[in-house]
Amino acid sequence: MAILALRRLWRLSALIFPLTYYFANKTTTFFMCLVILAIFLSLELRRHLDFEFNRNFFQRFDFLLKEKEKQGLLTTTWFVFGVFLCVIFFTKQIAITAILFLIFGDMAANFFGLKFGKRKILNQRTLEGSLANFIVCLIIGIILKFTSLALPTQTIISGALAASLAEYLPLPIDDNFTLGLFSGIIMTLVSKVVA
């Protein structure tokens, strides 16, 4: 249980991305993401070229890492890459909303899926976890309505639904990459229609 708490705390540290974007600007956030992504890509390169380094890395950080990350990319690398693309391609409102969906929606899906999940369909994800993702994303959208990041209700609902589907569906790419991007794309398209 302590390991899950540490993973959630690590995920919450990602609030640096939307907070930086909110209080700074696109350029600052872009360069911050670029530097962090470069660090993680360098780490990935070292891990995949040096077996001993990879083994030691996993021994030292086993409390944060999952077994599947030993051979593939780290979840955090996928996450930072997804955030980086959100900052590049979406408006400030949509990028920050999508990143918050990724941070809190995915965390809610994981927590409620493990704690209360009983209905597994298509993959190891649970219906309860995906529903929690959707509800948390809706709540985030509603809270943002009281800020300068407010989006139309239809945009929030469609983005929350897209985030939940990206988390739930058994896509070949990590949901830490797809969730923010998919919800950002859908919110961009819907916001153009409802504008």
Q: What average pLDDT score do residues 81-108 get? A: 95
| Higher-confidence position of 170 and 91 | 91
Query: Closest Cα to residue 110, out of 124, 100, 96?
Result: 124
Contact 98, 89 (CB under 8 A): no
Query: Closest Cα to residue 184, out of 135, 125, 137, 146?
Result: 137
* Residue 184: C-alpha distances to residues 43, 179, 191 (Å): 28, 8, 10
Amino acid at 144: L
What CA–CA distance (Å, rounded) separates 177 from 183?
A: 11
What CA–CA distance (Å, rounded) separates 193 from 195?
A: 6
Contact 76, 175 (CB under 8 A): no
| Higher-confidence position of 59 and 139 | 139
What CA–CA distance (Å, rounded) separates 132 from 150?
A: 22
- Residue 149 — very low, low, confident or very high, per pLDDT cuts 50/70/90? very high
Amino acid at 134: F
pLDDT at 27: 96
Question: What range does the domain containing 44 cover?
Answer: 2-194
Q: Phi first, then psi: give them for residue 51, nearest 5 degrees.
A: -60, -45
pLDDT in tens, 181-194: 999 999 999 998 88
Q: How far apart are the first and last CA of the chain?
A: 45
Query: pTM (2 decimals)?
Result: 0.89
Q: Interior CA angle at 120 toward 114 and 125, to 5°?
A: 55
Query: Closest Cα to residue 95, out of 146, 25, 173?
Result: 25
Q: What average pLDDT score do residues 30-58 get? A: 93
Classified as helix, coil or strand, 89 is helix
pLDDT at 129: 83
| Higher-confidence position of 125 and 155 | 155
* Residue 176: C-alpha distances to residues 101, 137, 146 (Å): 11, 15, 27
pLDDT at 2: 58
pLDDT at 114: 65
As a whole-number percent, the residues of the chain with pLDDT over 70 amount to 90
Mean pLDDT of the chain: 88
Report the number of distinct structural domains present in the chain. 1
